[in-house]
Amino acid sequence: MKTFWKAAFAIAKKDILLELRSKEIISSVLLFAVLTLVIFHFAFTADHETMTQIAPGMLWVAFSFSGILSLNRAFIPEKEDNCMEGLLSCPVGREAIYMGKCLGSFIFMLIVEAVVIPVCAMLFNVDVFNPMIIFITLLATVGFVSVGIIFSALSVNTRAREMVLPILFLPIIVPIIICAVSSSSAILAGGTFEDIKQYFLIIVAFDVIFFTVPLMIFKYVVEE
């Protein structure tokens, strides 16, 4: 187990260091996410009550599409530099590779959310800093990244990978996005945990499924 986590952290660290040097993913993803919210800001002129209802939806539009941009690049460096074979030949289980990619993408998503949430609060004047909303967002992000990595590995060898990933990924992740948006809207409307309990349980259930199943099948996905 110690070797597993050591390998996973090493892969995540490698991805993060590569991104810090090139800044290809994070700069484009952040620009896209912030620009999405700015467009929504000029498109909607509603009262505060209406904004509390639609702000979570706009927030998750920014998260979802910027997240897809990030996931599209998860395996591209290995593919372009012919390093995938070297990564797979490392003396560690394929599950450690999956976990490392998940950790790296999760950190990228956290950076995006750390920037986008304050921008959303400023543009739409809604209290998205609520601890319950932050918690729901983190839970939903876990499921988002877990299933996104497996589809990124599937689509990396296709010609139109930029199109294949959203087509495969979005229908699967819709339940988590709906629950995250619905629960955030309920919290902004003054709801309690009891009001969002069903959404919370659905997100947890999908997180468990989306993490466990890809972890088990990843070794078959990356086989030649």
Q: Which residue type sits at 66?
A: S
Check: CB of residue 89 under 8 Å from CB of residue 78: no
- Which pLDDT does position 46 carry in this prediction? 66
Question: Strand, coil or helix: what is 16?
Answer: helix
Q: Print the domain residue range for 203.
A: 2-221
Task: List, for residues 37-78, the tens digit of each pLDDT value.
Answer: 888 888 877 677 777 888 888 899 999 888 888 888 777 777
Domain count, the chain: 1
Whether the predicted pLDDT of 99 surpasses 70: yes
Query: Phi and psi of 20, rounded to 5°?
Result: -65, -30
Whether the predicted pLDDT of 186 surpasses 60: yes
Low-confidence winner among 44-48, 102-106, 187-191 (lowest mean pLDDT): 44-48
